[in-house]
């Protein structure tokens, strides 16, 4: 199992190119199941979740080819299987995103129930309720969700809770349903808008994406399309945190600052200087970080996927900050590892109080999930001595060559095989 060894104490300086968004690419790849035509996706991030989805799609009968330029061609001329098996779903929950497209295209889907994960229970009950509203019969047995429908019928679906992949799954299914579907209390994330744009290029009639009400007029069939995946806002936010925590100067290229508005605003509140251009973010940090509270929320609020990185940053800020996690019930696993490095953090339910500034020291630490891994790397970048981060496979699921990008900006980081 790979590990990362990081020697702390270097200011990061230079340019970092941001990759395509994992959480946009995953539903976009699943959407290729909706048509016999070629779906070409550009700017795919070369991360393990994308390779897992490629494997899943191939098992379902989709022809997939990647070129060396980060583009993928997906051709679902025939769907040969409608089952997303347990061994794939357990490594990547986003596999449930094939449920909607398979059901809409073939009238049947069998997807393993994902089960809990390191950040919370994460049920898919809201996806299931939505499919039932569209007329699907759903049975859950032997750990699988078995969904079938002659043809889905448009309906009004009001989500009890905002769900990103739930919104995406239902939106994809509704494109081929008969009649109109209205999704209320829908997720407004940029990745949802990106998926709607792809679906519309494929001939779907989706309007309102980016607001809490999305309307989909069903059409009999979709066709192929070419689409460029949006930049990864969480990767960009993670590099902003790396620049800020090391008192560095970073210039992020190929990103979209508007998708990071709440993160940029929060970082500015802590004393970090940030300037933006349409596809660029310039950061300069002078080492005088101030504590600032944060509450995670659905978009456009501060993303839960940036909470762990922000906690690492707050260990280096003067004062106390209260970090409130509102989206997932168990997303503070990184705190105990940060504490082993010397951080002063108290957890009370969904609140973490971080007292800074603390002197961190390198240690052997274990990453519990993707963003926790990023948090530990950030802490290691400022810790005295060296840190070894174990279970780097979490990181490789969602960050493309993070150690190479950090090393190019001056970090002392190497992968131990």
Which residues are identified as catalytic? 117
**Structural contact between residues 391 and 329, judged by C-beta atoms closer than 8 angstroms:** no
Sheet holding 144-148, edge to edge: 83-84, 108-112, 144-148, 137-141
Burial label for 220, CB within 10 Å (0-12, 13-18, 19+), is: exposed
**Binding flag, residue 26, ligand EPU (CB under 6 A):** yes
> Minimum CB separation from ligand EPU for residue 191, in Å?
6
Using CB under 6 A as the binding rule, whether residue 116 contacts ligand EPU is answered as no
Among residues 20 and 356, whose Cβ is nearest to ligand EPU? 20
Site membership for ligand EPU, residue 124 (CB under 6 A): yes
Query: Where does this chain touch ligand EPU (CB under 6 A) — which range of 119-127, 139-147, 208-216, 313-321?
Result: 119-127
Select from 164, 174, 317, 366 the one that contacts ligand EPU (CB under 6 A): 164
Question: Could you tell me the smallest distance in angstroms from the CB atom of residue 401 to ligand EPU?
Answer: 17
Nearer to ligand EPU, 99 or 409 (CB): 99
Shortest spacing between CB 164 and ligand EPU, in angstroms: 4
Which range in 62-70, 121-129, 214-222, 256-264 contacts ligand EPU by CB under 6 A? 121-129
Binding mask 166-185 for ligand EPU (x = CB under 6 A): x-------------------
- Sheet of strand 225-228: strand arrangement: 63-66, 72-75, 38-42, 225-228
Q: Tokens 């560095």 — which residue? A: 248
Contact, 242 vs 29, CB < 8 A?
Answer: no
Q: Stretches 34-42, 122-130, 194-202, 375-383: which one binds ligand EPU (CB under 6 A)?
A: 122-130
Distance CA 331, CA 323 (A): 11
Compare residues 26 and 313 and give the one whose CB is closer to ligand EPU. 26
Cβ nearer to ligand EPU, comparing 63 with 120:
120
Kindly state whether residue 304 participates in binding ligand EPU, applying the rule CB under 6 A: yes
Q: Contacting ligand EPU (CB under 6 A), which of 75, 341, 398, 400?
A: 398
The vertex-220 CA angle with 217 and 221, nearest 5°, equals: 105
Token pair 């939106």 is at which residue? 171
Please state the closest distance from residue 371 (CB atom) to ligand EPU, in A.
5
Q: Does 163 bind ligand EPU (CB under 6 A)?
A: yes
- CB closer to ligand EPU out of 251 and 305: 305
Of residues 113 and 347, the one with the C-beta less far from ligand EPU: 113
| Site membership for ligand EPU, residue 327 (CB under 6 A) | yes
Whether the CA torsion 404, 410, 411, 415 is positive or negative: it is positive
Task: Report residue 137 as tokens.
Answer: 């019969």
Among 15, 81, 125, 288, binds ligand EPU (CB under 6 A): 125
CB 362 within 8 A of CB 386: yes
How far is the C-alpha of 362 from the C-alpha of 413, rounded, in Å? 13
Which residues are near ligand EPU by CB under 6 A?
23, 26, 94, 120-127, 161, 163-166, 191, 304-305, 327-328, 370-371, 398
């Amino acid at each position: 199992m790979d590990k990362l060894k990081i020697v702390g104490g270097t200011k990061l300086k230079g340019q970092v190119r941001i990759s395509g968004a994992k959480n946009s690419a995953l539903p976009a790849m699943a959407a290729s199941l909706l048509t016999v035509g070629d779906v070409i996706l550009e700017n795919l991030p070369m991360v393990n979740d994308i390779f897992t989805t490629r494997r899943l799609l191939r098992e379902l009968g989709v022809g997939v080819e990647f070129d060396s330029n980060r583009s993928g061609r997906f051709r679902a001329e025939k769907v040969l299987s409608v089952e997303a098996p347990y061994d794939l779903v357990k490594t990547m929950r986003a596999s449930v995103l094939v449920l909607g497209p398979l059901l809409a295209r073939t009238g049947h889907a069998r997807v393993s129930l994902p089960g809990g994960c390191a950040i919370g229970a994460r049920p898919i009950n809201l996806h299931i309720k939505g499919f039932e509203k569209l007329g699907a019969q759903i049975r859950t047995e032997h750990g699988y969700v078995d969904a079938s429908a002659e043809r889905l019928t448009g309906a009004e679906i009001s989500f009890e809770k905002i769900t990103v992949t739930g919104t995406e799954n239902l939106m994809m299914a509704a494109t081929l349903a008969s009649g109109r579907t209205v999704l209320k209390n829908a997720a407004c994330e940029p990745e949802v808008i990106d998926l709607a744009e792809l679906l519309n290029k494929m001939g779907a009639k989706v309007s309102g994406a980016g607001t809490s009400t999305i309307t989909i007029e069903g059409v009999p069939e979709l066709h192929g399309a070419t689409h460029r995946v949006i930049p990864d806002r969480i990767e960009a936010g993670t590099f902003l945190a790396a620049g800020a925590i090391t008192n560095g100067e970073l210039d992020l290229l190929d990103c979209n600052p508007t998708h990071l508005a709440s993160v940029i605003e929060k970082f500015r509140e802590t004393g970090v200087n940030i300037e933006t251009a349409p596809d660029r973010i310039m950061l300069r940090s002078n080492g005088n970080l101030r504590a600032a509270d944060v509450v995670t929320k659905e978009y456009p609020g501060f993303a839960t996927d940036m909470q762990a990185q922000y906690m690492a940053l707050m260990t280096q800020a003067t004062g106390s900050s209260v970090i409130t996690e509102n989206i997932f019930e168990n997303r503070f696993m990184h705190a105990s590892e940060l504490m082993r490095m010397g951080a002063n953090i108290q957890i009370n339910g969904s609140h973490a109080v971080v007292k800074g500034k603390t002197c961190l020291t390198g240690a052997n630490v274990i990453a519990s999930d993707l963003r926790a891994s990023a948090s530990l790397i950030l802490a290691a970048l400022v810790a005295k001595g060296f840190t070894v981060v174990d279970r780097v496979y979490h990181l490789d699921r969602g960050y493309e060559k993070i150690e190479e990008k950090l090393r190019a900006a001056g970090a002392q980081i190497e992968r131990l095989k």
